[in-house]
Amino acid sequence: MASIHHALVLNLHQPPNNLTELSEQNEWEAKEILFALDRMPRSLWEYQDIARVHLSLSGSLLETLACPKFQEQMYGTVKVGDLLWHLQNQKIFNILGTGYYHPVLPLTPQADWNAQLSRWQGIAQHLFWREQFPGFWPPEMGFCMEMIPYLVRHGYRYVLVDDCYVEPIGEKMSWQELRYRPHIASYGGAEIAVVVRDRELSNAQLSGMDPGWFIHELEERTKWCDFEPLVTTCSDGDNGGWFRNHDKLANFWHVFYQSLLERVRGETTRVRPTYIHDYLARQGAQGRVHVKTGAWNTEDHYGDDFTQWSGTSQQKEAHARVQAVSEHFHAIENRLKQYAPASELHEVRYHINEAQWRLLRAQTSCNFYWAQAWTPKVHGDLDLCEAHLSQAVAELA
């Protein structure tokens, strides 16, 4: 019988400076997070022949892990430099591209999309010693069709989307075809492969599941497939007790994934851990689809209206200010194009660069998700952004 291909995807994100602050204010939680990250390669070394894990690491997390001061601070807890080295192992890890500061892109000014994407590629190319990343993880799985040309421009071959938003164009597709085959989506003359996340199985992955149950679910869900299915499960990989618990009898890697790999190695299951790019190379993408705008579910929120990031008055006000400051930033940036490249504008460009990264950092999804408690972070960064823009304008005068 045909193989059932399984793509395991884990999202790893920490807001800017969060791990550093936790290490000072809540040391055990910081250690739990670092142990959860460090546990990944250590759990998979003896399964390098069959383990296949996709990882999305936000730029703000990578920035913290790469910081020499943070590495020194955590020495004796986790060798953070060694961790980054282990994550370069392409036998067991495939790194997915994402937005640097983990913004919900459909809620973020389009004028800032390129900067969020290129800034992440800059740090990831340096830390992981590679030029290309075939797949893209939209932060919070927030996706809209307008993103496609931007992703293609940055070299991405496929993007992950949630199953409830995928609609076939033209030809009919069965329930199984829609979820367990990659498709093609196009917008503005650009097209990209769409890989569909199984929301129900992903919820189980986040909460805790038994390998026997998982195998049975995959067999039942794909039994009518007349093609080799790709079942994709995506969840956070560093949140919740299932991933943070250090007890081998109570965490994802030992209870579930190693047990699954033992069955794969023993050839007692048709499930095969798979890299998405390898599946696409062999099986390709079939059929054209439209993907409705939306995000993944969080707690009691479905994700289709982005309520968890934009439902309160404080969140709405913060989004409106991000949009206004972004427009102001790009207007000033465009003024620079009127000057010859040889002009002495070093001080101006310094203030523009300082303004831009604070504008991008203000767009971090956590700043909006935690609503009233964290929206001050948005305004704090935007205040600094505007101060630097004022300095730039003064230099241009």
Could you list the pLDDT tens digit for every one of the 397 residues in the chain? 799 999 999 999 999 999 999 999 999 999 999 999 999 999 999 999 999 999 999 999 999 999 999 999 999 999 999 999 999 999 999 999 999 999 999 999 999 999 999 999 999 999 999 999 999 999 999 999 999 999 999 999 999 999 999 999 988 999 999 999 999 999 999 999 999 999 999 999 999 999 999 999 999 999 999 999 999 999 999 998 899 998 888 999 999 999 999 999 999 999 999 999 999 999 999 999 999 999 999 878 888 999 999 999 999 999 999 999 999 999 999 988 777 564 568 888 999 999 999 999 999 999 999 988 999 999 999 999 999 999 999 988 7
Could you tell me whether strands 190-197 and 158-162 are parallel, antiparallel, or unpaired per DSSP bridges? parallel
Phi, psi of 34 (to 5 degrees): -65, -40
Q: Which residues contact 138 (CB under 8 A, 6 or more apart)?
A: 98, 99, 105, 147, 159, 160, 161
d(CA 295, CA 307) in angstroms, rounded, equals 10
Amino acid, single-letter form, for residue 216: H
- pLDDT score recorded for residue 263: 98
Query: Number of C-alpha atoms within 13 angstroms, CB side, residue 258?
Result: 16
CATH class of 4-291: alpha beta
pLDDT given at position 54: 98
User: Which residue do the tokens 């250690």 mark?
Assistant: 31
Per DSSP, the three-state class of 223 is: coil
The closest alpha carbon to 277, from 126, 33, 52, belongs to: 52
d(CA 263, CA 269): 6
The predicted structure's pLDDT at residue 343: 57
**Secondary structure letter of residue 291 according to DSSP:** E
- CA nearest to 160, candidates 242, 243, 231: 231
End-to-end CA distance of the chain: 73
Beta bridge partners of 143: 294
Cβ atoms of residues 103 and 363 within 8 Å? yes
Q: What is the pLDDT of residue 346?
A: 85
CB 162, CB 295: distance < 8 Å:
yes
Query: Distances in Å between the alpha carbon of 246 and those of 33, 76, 96, 311?
Result: 10, 17, 26, 36
For residues 285 and 235, what is the distance between their CA atoms, to the nearest angstrom? 23
Residue 243 CB partners (closer than 8 Å, separation 6+): 36, 236, 237, 251, 252
Provide the pLDDT for residue 371.
87
20 in Cβ contact with 63 (< 8 Å): no
Q: What is the pLDDT of residue 301?
A: 86
- 90 in Cβ contact with 49 (< 8 Å): no
Residues 255 and 32 sit within 8 Å (Cβ to Cβ)? no
Q: Please check whether residue 114 is in contact with residue 150, taking contact to mean a CB–CB distance below 8 angstroms.
A: yes
3-class DSSP state for residue 171? coil
CA 172, CA 26: separation in Å to the nearest integer?
53
pLDDT (0 to 100) of residue 397: 74
Residue 74's SS3 state is helix
Q: pTM for the full model? A: 0.96
Burial (0-12, 13-18, 19+ Cβ within 10 Å), 154: middle
Q: Identify the pLDDT of residue 340.
A: 58
Beta bridge partners of 273: 6
How many Cβ atoms sit within 10 Å of the Cβ of residue 347? 13
Report helix, strand or coil for 178.
helix
Spatial separation of the C-alpha atoms in residues 211 and 269, rounded to whole Å:
11
